[in-house]
Chains A and B, each alone.
Chain A
Amino acid sequence: MDRALPQPTPETQHFWDGCKVGELRLQRCAACAQTYFPPRPFCPACGSRSVEVYVASGKGVLWSYVINHRPRPDMGTEPHSIAVVKLKEGPTMMTNIVGCPQTPEALQLDMPVEVTFETFGAMALPLFKPAGA
């Protein structure tokens, strides 16, 4: 079964295009300097429409997660993490932690993680792995 994939909108196209070329693209406000996520063509902190897209560090820490023991059919049959990382630039982002056992012992909160892009069909998803792994 094929993985459920995002369908970009005009406001989010830059983000998904970035994933395909290995860039985690975030937006920040020119007026108040705030980085925000998910993408939108204005700043949710101050309402300014003067915003820019930039390439983020791709680094963050594991903020919270569950290990789903009843995976969705398109996610395979083994228990897997559904995680939120806190990016170095500030926002949180849902993802999967890959490249390590899917166990509470291996998935320690606040451990450094870094983005890795995995291709599924016509899309690439931003997944995260333990930093340096």
Chain B
Amino acid sequence: MKKTGSQILLESLKREGVEVIFNFPGGAILPIVDELSRWDLKRILVRHEQAAVHAADGYARASGKVGVSLVTSGPGATNTVTGIATASMDSIPVVILTGQVPTPLIGNDAFQEADIVGIARPCTKNNYLVTDVRDLARIVREAFYIARSGRSGPVLVDLPKDVLTNTTEYRYPEKIHIRGYQPTVEGHIPQIERALRLILTARRPVIYAGGGVVSSGASEELIKLAGTLQIPVTMTLMGLGGFPGTNPLSLGMLGMHGTYRANMAVTECDLLIAIGARFDDRVTGKVDAFSPKSKKIHIDIDPTSISKNVRVDIPIVGDCKRVLAKMIALLQKEEALEEYRRSLGPWHQQMEEWRDAYRLAYQQNRVIKPQYVVEKLYELTKGDAIIATEVGQNQMWTAQFYQFDHPRSLLTSGGLGTMGYGFPAAIGAQVAFPGRTVIDIAGDGSIQMNIQELATVMQYKLPIKVAILNNGYLGMVRQWQELFYERRYTLTHLGEVNPDFVKLAEAYGAVGMRATKPEEVVPVIQEALRTPLPVLMDFVVDPEEGVYPMVPAGEPISQMLLV
């Protein structure tokens, strides 16, 4: 029997195991929207296409599955670009389905036409314009395969309206072969052996773990490897949760707002083992001065990440989980492990000295400190919540003061640093895990970038909690102005013109709460966590609190401002 493009699309989504799509409708996708009414596929109507992609992204980060969003042509499609770029920078598997004008009109500046394939090319892993309904099933199959395999990432499929209504025989391709796309998954054994030999001669080794550990599901292996060898581990922002923050071997995050000991350890180590990380400039600081005394091993699924910014001695291309599993298997044959662990004694002692020299800390006085709010959120959720963040100081305080012990429990825009990401991402996570506590730790600036999603959480009764660290500033930018522009706070003060967030929540039918004094923080959080509805918590915090340590951009990471 022949099927329409819309039917084929939905059938194919089912075949890919899609459970939910985040969408916003429009003329070009009406054939799919209409077809959807006959399917029991969960759909979430967001209130802005950017949020549709962030929600699909949050769903993917929290669950490990591919997130899907569906939007219309033209402005619907262009509104997704920030979401796509966000997912791309953090290697998140999402499939974005965009409507397009009918094929005969393409190129004519038709109503609501945008060359979204062209626009999104640099920020997608791959993308497709479907010009013939007979290609549709294969393209959907390829799109999901490419999105989730190798170094995962966003894939866009552009669907002209006539392709959705044309018909053809439906056959879903069982096998898939793309000759230009064969990711290397298994690490090269001789390289792994060389790496192991290098590790066993190191006396000051450090593991530097990134988002690849989370996306490949390599946490268990990393814990095992680090534990067996007693090698300290520092995580990137994307790596948080990939190794437990409360593990005694954890040094915390490294980089621009990393801990003193993590940055010192990386600077002084004789061996740096990078796992699923990409030597981003927010991690390395001044590249020439980054980990100058070390040999470097780099495990990553993406060959382009290796030796891009920093030369490494032993590259291993492969999936982190598989490579680490191989390493652990090879380690079983080693005999002198006890001796090795003992040989790291002085290095561990050095870690303790660095830890004691400068801990992450703040002084809680009469105004609420934002760090205090994050710490209390951690304690009161017992570290079990899924935490999304916005971007800015709120994001860095979350990274510093919430201890992430489990992978996929932190959703944050690391690479692109997208304000407005957290709230819709939290929607995706809550849809994936209806029973879990999902909190967006937000700034007063960022939350206003996708505040319209309050309507979405109300419509679907998603009991998300938003904790606004309300400092009345675009705080992170203000901090840079304070430090590098003689405190000229141009364009960063929001203060009095911020809305009344409590009333704002109430206008949407959500619950609004406010804390202005330190002693109100805990009761507000407790009350919010007890409330089975969306809650917006407005924490009026110290307006000029800063995030420290801080490495000024372009400086070596050992040169931290420690105020």
Report whether chain A binds chain B. no
CB within 8 Å of A: which residues of B?
none
